[in-house]
Amino acid sequence: MTIKTSETSVIKRSQINLNPLNPKRHTEEAIKLQKKNMQKIGFLGGIVWNRLTGNLIDGHRRVYAMDLLYKYDGSKETDYDIKVEVCELDNKTEKEQLTYMAVGNTKADYDLIAKYANDIDIHNVGLSDIDIKDILSFAETDIDAVTDSIDNLILSPAEEEIPIPVEKTEEEKKQHVKDVKEQVRENAEKRQADEEAYIMLSFTNAENKQAFCDLFGIDISEKFMKGEKLLEMMD
C-alpha cells in the first residue's frame, strides 16, 4: 500500500489565502507566543496549502507569526518566501480536512462549523458524537431537517426530552429548535465545568511534598487524587 504524501515547496506569502472558514481561533497572545518560539527555534514547517484554491488548510497561527516577523503588509516589498506542504483538494474535501485538523488540535468554533456543516460529511472530520450533536443544534438549516436531526441525535435517553406535538406548526418547530439549542448550551457549559473540575498543587521541594503526603496519609508516588477523598480526610 502506498500512502499519498504532500509536496514540499517554497512559495511566496502573497500566494496564500488565510482561510475564512478556519474554525481555529488564535488569540493575539497565542500568536505572539508563536512568534517568540520562532525567534528562538525557527520555523519548523507544518503549513498545509491547497494549490487549487490558494487557501491554507493548516498553519494559520504560524503564518500570522511570520507576518509579524517579516512585517508583511500585503505589498510586494514585504513579500517573503515560505515553505509549505502542497495538496490539491476540492472544496468539500478542503473543508473536511480544515475541520479535521482544527478539532484534533484546538477547541474549534462550532458555531462557524455549523454554518457549513451541510457542505461536508460531518461524521468524517474527527468529531465525537457529542460534538456533532452540538454542531447540528446550531446549524442554520431547514427547520424540518434540524428538528429531525435534533430528535435523532441531540436528546439521549438519559436526558429529559422536550415534548413535541406530532403535528407541529412552523412556530412550534422554531420554538422546539430554540428550546433544544438552549438545552445543548447548558449541557455544553456543564461539560466544560466538569472538565475543569481540578486543581494542581506544587511544592517548593520534595521534603514539603513528603510532609503533605504524610499529613494526609497519601502515597508519595501518587500523581492524582480525587478531591472528594481529600475532603473526607480533612473531616
Strands 81-87 and 7-12 turn out to be antiparallel
pLDDT tens digit sequence for 13-46: 999 999 988 888 788 888 888 898 899 889 999 8
In sequence order, which residues have a C-beta less than 8 Å from that of residue 69 and are 6 or more positions away?
35, 38, 39
Low-confidence stretches of the chain (pLDDT < 50) are 140-144, 146, 150, 153-160, 162, 164-165
This model's pTM is above 0.85: no
pLDDT tens digit sequence for 201-218: 777 777 888 888 888 888
> In the chain, which ranges are continuous DSSP H helix?
28-41, 60-70, 91-103, 110-115, 129-138, 143-149, 170-195, 206-216, 227-234
What is the pLDDT at residue 11? 96
